Amino acid sequence: MLLRCLQKVKAWHISRQAMQRAWTEWNYLVLDIETSGLDPKNDHIVSFGWVCIYKGVIELDTARHIVLDSAPIGDSVGIHMITDSDVQQQGKRQESVLRYLRHLLRERVLVMHHAPMELGFLKHAWQTEALPAFSVSWLDTLAIERAKAHRSQQPIQDGGFRLGACRERYGLPEYQGHDALTDALATAELLLAQIAYQGKDCRLHDLNQMGGGRVKFTTR
């Protein structure tokens, strides 16, 4: 029992030291999930989109947009523009996609815009597929933007923390498309703009303090 406690303390200390490293010393996977609704227990994941950041640069050759073969389309086609034909021709098994995602996240920080939504669906999908437990550090660009506004006492109107509105404050262009990959790319660009605003000495610890944490996906 004592040995296990000491191991946990040592792991926590190592993790805390690592957080002090410059943000460019970490690799990131920026993820967006399109869903059939807002409730992870009653709605389903339709598609995943992601792109990786390596040494502070967005790697476009890592960009992926994956539709699930179990995606229920119905009336939501008008939202994410994915059709039944897309599901039949391109659909992948949710379990396979999650296993691939877990592999990519082993040495990367997970980045999302509005993490509670994305993490809720990921946790539920993890339990549904009964995958092995897995932990990952995460950042939320929405939470980072909210912390920035709070520190500067900058009032933000309703809807001001949506992805497009956050990008507009940094002079980033508006994307016309609306799918998981486009939003993942948009979030990656937003993260780099937020980091540039923080300054060249920005650390992962600083970003984590503004809007981040660590999550464990389990089967229960």
Look up the pTM and report it. 0.86
CA distance 87 to 79: 15
Nearest CA among 179, 172, 188 for reference residue 66? 179
Query: Tokens 């992870």 identify what position?
Result: 40
41-74 burial by CB neighbour count: b if 16+ within 10 A, else e?
eeebbbbbbbbbbeeeebeeeebbbbbbeebebe
The helix/strand/coil state of 133 is coil
What is d(CA 159, CA 211) in angstroms, rounded to the nearest whole number? 18
Specify the pLDDT at position 7: 47
Return phi, psi of residue 34, to 5°: -95, 135
> 125-159: per-residue pLDDT in tens?
999 999 999 999 999 999 999 999 998 888 888 89
Q: What's the confidence (pLDDT) of residue 46? A: 92
pLDDT(218) > 60: yes
Which DSSP state fits 95?
A: H
DSSP letter (8 states) at residue 93? -
* Superfamily of 2-217 according to CATH: Ribonuclease H-like superfamily/Ribonuclease H (3.30.420.10)
Calculate the CA dihedral of residues 98, 217, 110, 180 and round it to 10 degrees: 40
pLDDT averaged over every residue in the chain: 86
**How does pLDDT run across 71-129, given as a tens digit for each residue?**
665 544 444 556 555 555 567 999 999 999 999 999 999 999 999 999 999 999 999 99
| pLDDT, position 152 | 85
